[in-house]
A and B are shown apart, each in its own frame.
Chain A
């Protein structure tokens, strides 16, 4: 008896080799080294010229000229550093590319051998059907085991190759200025990079970079949520204070009138706070444009109406939640394909995704507080908090000194300041409208 010789097996390459030209990449790397050498020579020539100019020209104008010439040489040094880094990155990646291509070729050849043996076994003639069937099973098992091993080898090699490509990308990006956003770089990291870069240009801050980096880290991780809530609460509270007649509490009878009167009595205090420390603080940290954008996000989503109709402070909370969800979602979307983003950013990406879920569930809970939505907040909040700690563990341990302590004190102060004003009104409003919600 003779079996079919495996005609159903695909003829296409099972282990495709990456289409790349390692020699061309090495050539490009050599070109970068040549460029680095030329620029290094130019920098030396420039410094030599500066020395000569200084010898034949003195005075204030000469000093300025020497600053220009030496600054020009320093910029050439930057080119040298950048092109040298790129050359090294390309050489390392070219080697990885060749390795991957070699692995793919070897695995493809081994697979061809396996397939050939399999087909050869099936092509043999057997004395009876039982023996043929047994031979078929054994051949299939041998082939499957062999392919599984080859698949594993290919997957491992592919991961190594992907890591090499990512390392090359990161090295190339490291030569670029911080204002050029990196591949799948999160908005948080991009903004942090620019802030740190900016801080290094300010003489006073440059001498205290530990403090600056700690503050930037704190503003990136802890402060935004508090500030978004604070600012959005302030916006809604400010709207109400500017137009008390439109108070959403007007419609809830005597209790609403009482709350209005309580808030009215404290109006000068609130106004002073909103126009004073909080306004300056939020604008300083978040910027006027971003503060305004948060409000427009909510308005565009049509949730301004929800804010007006579902109670003053709950509405403010929804605004904050929507804004926070929007910012979190934008941060995740900016990182591109989730698989690639996780590979590149690891725990930080998990934290960003969890942040979206946390903010979204928090928003849902504020719109419709019930056991389901509140439970979702608890679950997503725990995931978010855990992921955030993991993602920032290095920074937490690195800046666990005075900088974090200062940042933490600043955060607590901000939170207490917000609580002092906004939560007083929150409690009053919650009492006034609590009967509207059976779960409140």
Chain B
């Protein structure tokens, strides 16, 4: 049996902080793109070429990271929602069919699952 513990509400509360990482990353992306825009006044073709390659790569890379922050935050939220939904389902199930079990104190859906003998 897979052991796990989760506080769905606390997990959900972490998601906005991760999503907010996109803000500084977007600013960083703008700054990196600006390096490419000064290629025209670099004064040497080698530096101009280097700046264009640098800006092209890092603009793309930071853009991907910025998007990833949102994806990770969404995953955390979805995970918290899934756990909460499962907890509600198990709680309802126990309330309907296992009165003595349901009457016992619970620490959440994971606790119910463990008491039922298997993972959610």
A58 in contact with B5 (CB, 8 Å): yes
Residue in contact with A59 in the complex, picked from B4, B49, B54, CB distance below 8 Å: B4
Q: How many A-B residue pairs have CB under 8 A?
A: 165
The residues of B that contact A57 with a CB separation of less than 8 Å are 4-7, 11, 79
A18 to B65, CA, bound (A): 37
The residues of A that contact B79 with a CB separation of less than 8 Å are 57, 61, 65
B44 in contact with A20 (CB, 8 Å): yes
Interface mask (A49-66 → B, CB under 8 Å = 1, otherwise 0): 100110111111110010
CB distance from A29 to the nearest CB of B (A): 8
- Contacts A32-B35, A49-B14; A69 near B6 (Cβ below 8 A): no
Tell me if B38 is interfacial: C-beta within 8 Å of chain A: yes
A79 in contact with B57 (CB, 8 Å): no
CB distance from A311 to the nearest CB of B (A): 48
A101 to B43, CA, bound (A): 10
B50 in contact with A53 (CB, 8 Å): no
Tell me if B34 is interfacial: C-beta within 8 Å of chain A: yes
B32 in contact with A35 (CB, 8 Å): yes
B44 in contact with A32 (CB, 8 Å): no
B28 in contact with A61 (CB, 8 Å): no
Question: Secondary structure of the B side of the interface?
Answer: helix
B46 in contact with A183 (CB, 8 Å): yes
B31 in contact with A18 (CB, 8 Å): no
Tell me if B21 is interfacial: C-beta within 8 Å of chain A: yes
B32 in contact with A83 (CB, 8 Å): yes
B54 in contact with A172 (CB, 8 Å): yes
- Contacts A83-B32, A165-B47; A56 near B72 (Cβ below 8 A): no
The residues of B that contact A68 with a CB separation of less than 8 Å are 72
Which residue on B lies nearest to A171, using beta carbons?
B50
Residue in contact with A58 in the complex, picked from B6, B28, B31, CB distance below 8 Å: B6
A25 in contact with B38 (CB, 8 Å): yes
The residues of A that contact B57 with a CB separation of less than 8 Å are 175-177, 180
Of the candidates B5, B28, B72, the one having the most CB atoms from chain A within 10 angstroms of its own CB is: B28
Which residue on B lies nearest to A34, using beta carbons?
B31
B: residues with CB less than 8 A from A are 2-7, 10-11, 14, 17-18, 20-21, 24-25, 27-29, 31-32, 34-35, 37-38, 41-44, 46-47, 49-51, 53-54, 57-58, 61-62, 65, 68-69, 72, 75-76, 79
A39 to B14, CA, bound (A): 19
A: residues with CB less than 8 A from B are 18-22, 24-25, 27-28, 31-32, 34-36, 38-39, 41-42, 45-46, 48-49, 52-53, 55-62, 65, 68-69, 72, 75-76, 79, 82-83, 86, 90, 93, 97, 100-101, 161-162, 165-166, 168-169, 171-173, 175-177, 180, 183
CB distance from A136 to the nearest CB of B (A): 40
Which residue on A lies nearest to B64, using beta carbons?
A75
The residues of B that contact A42 with a CB separation of less than 8 Å are 21, 24-25
CB distance from A46 to the nearest CB of B (A): 6
Which residue on A lies nearest to B35, using beta carbons?
A28
